[in-house]
């Protein structure tokens, strides 16, 4: 499959998964139990989907170790993100997490001798502006304290490490073990989330203080299973592309493009209203993606 088509397919899969997650988040209970159930079901669905789609199931010790580490860091990122949101403002947390894409973006130049052109640097700067402007800053938000800063910092680092580990595997001699890497990662995530769901099973007070519908039901579980299929496709495409595209091109386009698609879809499908700054942020994001592709090269 052509890399461009694969990149578009990856962002489309991510978009559909995000829309399903939003549907679940808006309609059903929100607490640590529901978060872990969501992650467990999605991870199981992804692992099974990848097993069905697998081209090569060979596995080495290197892939097993890196896959477990990848699954651990992914889970840690989710936990740090949740605690950051619990202890501080949503808007600033969102910006910090979004900016973590800078870590894998510059990793190509630092560790893999990849070149970043002047035009691409400008594109990355535009992307930073896009991330900041795309967030709706509200006056009535939680204050930012030391605990929030620590959790946000850990979430920032762990989110950035996810991208580096993808590239680390796909630039190694074990890159053909892509399917095994993802299956092990999702299986590990399923096991950990299942244990955590059991731990939090009696702490199911909704975060908003409302009586939302239970996540244990045919419709929510079906939505999670479908979301897992999209997550499998998204991760398979992304893992492959992380090894064939320069980091300064791949990571900004995937993250910036995903943000743009999700924002536009929220307006079209859910009739959400964007501020003038958010609209300008989307326009800036589109310009950044064009510049990162460096049409002048």
Which of the four pLDDT bands, split at 50, 70 and 90, describes residue 267? confident
The tokens for 273 are: 């209203």
- Please give the model's pTM, rounded to 2 decimal places: 0.86
Location of structure tokens 């007070």? 205
Query: How confident is the model at residue 144, as a pLDDT?
Result: 65
Cα-flanking dihedrals φ and ψ of residue 116, to 5°? Answer: -115, 120
Neighbouring-strand partners of residue 28: 213
Tell me the pLDDT tens digit for each residue of 46-83.
999 999 999 899 999 999 999 999 989 988 888 888 78
Check if the beta carbon of residue 109 is closer than 8 Å to that of residue 248. Answer: yes
Burial class (CB in 10 A: 0-12, 13-18, 19+), 118: exposed
DSSP 152-199: HHHHHHHHHHHHHHHHHHHTSTTGGGHHHHHHHHHHHHHHHHHHHHHH
Tell me the pLDDT tens digit for each residue of 138-189.
656 566 678 888 988 999 999 999 999 999 999 999 999 999 999 999 999 9
For the chain, the structural domain boundaries read 3-292
């Amino acid at each position: 499959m052509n890399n461009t088509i694969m990149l578009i397919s990856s962002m489309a899969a991510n978009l559909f998964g995000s829309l399903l997650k939003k549907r679940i988040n808006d309609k059903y209970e929100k607490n640590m139990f529901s978060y872990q159930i969501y992650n467990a079901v999605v991870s199981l669905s992804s692992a099974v989907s990848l097993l069905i789609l697998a081209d090569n199931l060979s596995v080495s010790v290197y892939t097993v170790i890196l896959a477990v580490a990848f699954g651990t860091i992914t889970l840690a990122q989710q936990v740090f993100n949740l605690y950051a949101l619990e202890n501080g403002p949503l808007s600033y947390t969102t910006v910090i997490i979004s900016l973590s894409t800078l870590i894998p973006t510059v990793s190509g130049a630092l560790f893999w001798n990849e070149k970043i052109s002047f035009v691409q640097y400008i594109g990355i700067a535009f992307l930073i502006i896009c991330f900041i402007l795309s967030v709706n800053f509200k006056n009535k938000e939680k204050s930012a304290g030391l605990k929030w800063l620590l959790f946000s910092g850990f979430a920032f680092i762990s989110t950035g490490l996810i991208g580096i580990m993808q590239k680390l595997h796909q630039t190694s001699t074990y890159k053909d073990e892509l399917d095994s890497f993802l299956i092990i990662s999702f299986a590990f995530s399923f096991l950990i989330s299942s244990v955590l769901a059991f731990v939090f099973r009696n702490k199911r007070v909704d975060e908003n203080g409302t009586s939302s519908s239970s996540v244990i039901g045919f419709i929510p579980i079906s939505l999670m299973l479908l979301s897992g299929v999209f997550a499998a496709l998204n991760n398979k495409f992304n893992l492959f592309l992380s090894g064939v595209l320069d980091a300064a091109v791949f990571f900004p386009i995937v993250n910036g493009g995903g943000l743009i698609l999700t924002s536009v879809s929220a307006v079209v499908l859910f009739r959400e209203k964007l501020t003038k700054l958010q609209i300008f942020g989307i326009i800036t994001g589109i310009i950044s993606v064009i510049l990162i592709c460096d049409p002048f090269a």
